[in-house]
Structure 1
Amino acid sequence: MIPTPAPTELPPGPADRYLSGLRVGVTAVAGTLLLTMSMLRNVRSYHPVWFQAVAWATFAVIVLIGVVRVARHRPWGATWPLAVAAVLAASVLSMAGLPAGSATTAADWSTGVVGWVGLVVLFDRPLVVFVAFLIVHEAMVVSDVLITRPGDADALLNALSGAIGTLGYPLAAAIAATALAGAARTVERSWRESELLRTREAIASGLHSGRRRRFAALDQGVLPQLRALRDGSADPTDPRVRRACSIEAARLRRLFAESEDAPDPLLHVVRHCVDVAERRNVVVELQVSGTWPDPPEEIRRALTDGLLLVVSTAASRVRVTLVGTDGCVTLGAVGDDVELPADGWTPTEDVAMDTIREGNVTWIQARWSMS
């Protein structure tokens, strides 16, 4: 039977590819802002300078980790709280090294970077988490202004108005990404549903074709034999009729085995064929060795045609060997008093058939190679 694939077996959808592109864009913006190195223009005013160097290095490490995760298509996972804490700590360190009253001025280079670096970390988190991050950071900036320049209303208004650019742009990007990601996921759901529908239709078509082939096999062998028995044109006491019925019964069992799901379809069919002889109280010896590829259904039938003849007509003993080597499988059967078909074997291009008879012992071998 053909298994129905689970939804997880489908390839990555458009939402995954689209969100990957957005992550690349956000990470590129954050990296570009860091590379501008705007703090170098005011390096002489920082006390101490290493506060700014450590803050910049922290941001750079976060962005580099983001680049690696984007390249490997891996989200931050459970490490995102630590990364957010590192970003906020670096921001505090940078503000601590600013000259008095320099918050939100040109010397405060980190305020314009924090939002984008935070978005690199929180891209896969809900929008409310990123908004909370921006609120916390803005509260830190306002607190710094109130502490370093108490009573300066102009400085406070400047800090609030500056937040429109420093925090508003990454927030707008996050809102747009959330909205567009929702639309992409809707498209992806429709795409996956259509893919599953097409897969199910293909499976149903394959199952229907398989049933038609099996019914055609019944119409060629079993049904004519049953009609002959029903209308009396075949005598059940005739040894030739009994032999033909035994062969068709074996083919019917093979047909049932072909419709079952098994890890090794060829070995599964062979075991069902061997069971035919055992039900006739014939001593059967089955030897299996090696490995082999899974042959198509038509090849399996051609390989087991000779085996069916042996197990259904042998008088007392049957020996079956199934050997696989280097992309080739050989199936042999030896039995006593086996009656060979009068018209020989139906020629098969891909399966070679050999028959040897010595006295009352008949040996039939079928061989198939992938090449």
Structure 2
Amino acid sequence: MTDHAVSAITRQVLLVVVVAVQLVLPLPTLVSHPHAPTAWLAYGLLTAVLAVVAGHVAAATPTPAYLAVVPLAASVLATTALPAGASFGAADWAFGLVGWYLLLVLVERPAALVAALSAHICFSIAWFAHDGSGDVGTAGVVVLSGTSFQLGVLVITRVLHRDARLAAEAAVEHDAARTKEELARQREQDLRAGFEGQLGALLPLLADLADERASVADQTTRLRCSVAAVQLRRLFAENDDVPDPLLHELTACVDVAERRGVVVSLAVSGTATPVPTEVRRELVAPMAQALAVANGRAKVSLLRTATEVRVAVVADAAETVPATSGPETVTVETSVHSGLVRSEARWRTT
């Protein structure tokens, strides 16, 4: 149950209680005991408050706090209209009823409710002392029994609100945990799909090596192994959490080439630009293919401007670079001439 639902149910229950109390207890007392005419005015004011609160409850809107002024005014009118010596006695129909009205109006504002109840009780006690002819013991019992029960209702209401908030917070945390778990599961599936895609290219190579259809002494096999190594290293780097993913993936491919003995220089120009993962793959792929077949020196350059990202490589290689295909957003140009491989991938950011 939400905090709003607790508030709505509490107001509805209090409204029913106040209606029952006003009809069953005060009205017969008001009729059977002599009171000044202002007592009926006080009763009418309370009835008007009841109608206003009922309208707000029906419309599911908060009750204005200033409405509490009316029960306090009714308290003054009803108390001063009592017969002599009747304060906190059988004829005092308003003391407990006003407390319920204040609870009805201010139940969602505990501090204001306590202040209003205190003002109501203090005035009633002051009038009792002014009248000077009542029973102190009876007055004490009436004050304690009435106010303690109403304050008890307030405490229970606050506990219900607290429990509702805690339940709502627990539900939010649970939903957040489930969302996080689902995102982690989805990421794991994406990673698995990516690895499976790369392994799909490796499986024929591994099968050929296992069945001795391919030999590491063969240049073509070594080229296939080199391409696979660069592709896997780039895939591992793709999933690292780094400030500049594109440069990180390029560096990973360069590292694999350098381990093979290729002398690689890397030039970077411009500041880091956010690049989607799929686009990064297509930007790095031609460079990775060129480094896979490089056998001497290679120069890799990364140029980033406000409108374009370029990845280019020039490498010593007599081998034919495997063809790469990418989305229309990435333009790839590759050529092999006079023992040099030249490859460039461009992506326009706008």
Shorter-chain TM-score: which interval? 0.5 to 0.7
Deviation at 1:292, TM superposition (A): 1.7
Q: Distance in 2 between matches of 1:202 and 1:20?
A: 35
Q: Distance in 1 between matches of 2:303 and 2:282?
A: 16
Instruction: Within 5 Å, give how 1:181-200 maps onto structure 2.
Output: 181-183=162-164, 185-186=166-167, 188-190=169-171, 192-200=173-181
Q: Report SS of the residue matched to 2:274.
A: coil
Q: Report SS of the residue matched to 1:290.
A: coil
Question: Residue 258 of structure 1 aligns with which residue?
Answer: 238
Letter in 2 for 1:279: R
Q: Distance in 1 between matches of 2:73 and 2:120?
A: 23
Instruction: Within 5 Å, give how 1:200-215 maps onto structure 2.
Output: 200-215=181-196
Question: Residue 120 of structure 1 aligns with which residue?
Answer: 109
Question: Residue 351 of structure 1 aligns with which residue?
Answer: 330
Matching of residue 31 in structure 1 with residue 10 in structure 2? no
Letter in 2 for 1:293: P
Query: Residues 23-54 of structure 1, C-alpha deviation per residue, up to 9 Å, x if partnerless?
Result: x9997442332489949x99xxxxxxxxxxxx
Residue of 268, 273, 288 corresponding to 1:308: 288
Residue of 328, 344, 349 corresponding to 1:365: 344
Q: Report SS of the residue matched to 2:214.
A: coil
Deviation at 1:236, TM superposition (A): 1.9
* Distance of aligned partners of 1:361 and 1:164 in 2 relative to their CA distance in 1, 3 Å threshold: farther
Letter in 2 for 1:203: A
Instruction: Within 5 Å, give how 1:230-249 maps onto structure 2.
Output: 230-249=210-229
Q: Report SS of the residue matched to 1:355.
A: strand
Letter in 2 for 1:31: Y
* Distance of aligned partners of 1:252 and 1:275 in 2 relative to their CA distance in 1, 3 Å threshold: same
Deviation at 1:239, TM superposition (A): 2.4
Q: Report SS of the residue matched to 1:153.
A: coil
Residue of 220, 228, 250 corresponding to 2:208: 228
Deviation at 1:214, TM superposition (A): 1.0
Q: Distance in 2 between matches of 1:244 and 1:254?
A: 16
Query: Residues 100-128 of structure 1, C-alpha deviation per residue, up to 9 Å, x if partnerless?
Result: x9x9999xxx99879977963659xxxxx
Letter in 2 for 1:355: T
Question: Residue 275 of structure 1 aligns with which residue?
Answer: 255
Residues 310 and 346, structure 2, Cα contact 8 Å, conserved in 1: yes
Question: Residue 268 of structure 2 aligns with which residue?
Answer: 287
Q: Distance in 2 between matches of 1:38 and 1:160?
A: 24
Letter in 2 for 1:336: D
Q: Distance in 1 between matches of 2:61 and 2:136?
A: 30
Letter in 2 for 1:120: R
Letter in 2 for 1:367: R
Residues 293 and 321, structure 2, Cα contact 8 Å, conserved in 1: no
Residues 292 and 327, structure 1, Cα contact 8 Å, conserved in 2: no
RMSD of aligned C-alpha atoms? 4.7
Percent identity at matched positions? 25
Deviation at 1:188, TM superposition (A): 4.9
* Distance of aligned partners of 1:17 and 1:317 in 2 relative to their CA distance in 1, 3 Å threshold: farther
Deviation at 1:309, TM superposition (A): 1.6
Residues 308 and 348, structure 2, Cα contact 8 Å, conserved in 1: yes
Which protein shows a greater Rg?
2
Letter in 2 for 1:253: R
Gaps of 5+ in 1: 1-13, 43-100, 124-129
Query: Residues 256-275 of structure 1, C-alpha deviation per residue, up to 9 Å, x if partnerless?
Result: 22343334333322221121
Q: Distance in 1 between matches of 2:115 and 2:72?
A: 22
Question: Residue 37 of structure 2 aligns with which residue?
Answer: none
Q: Distance in 1 between matches of 2:150 and 2:133?
A: 26
Q: Distance in 1 between matches of 2:6 and 2:331?
A: 55
Letter in 2 for 1:284: S
Residues 27 and 120, structure 1, Cα contact 8 Å, conserved in 2: no
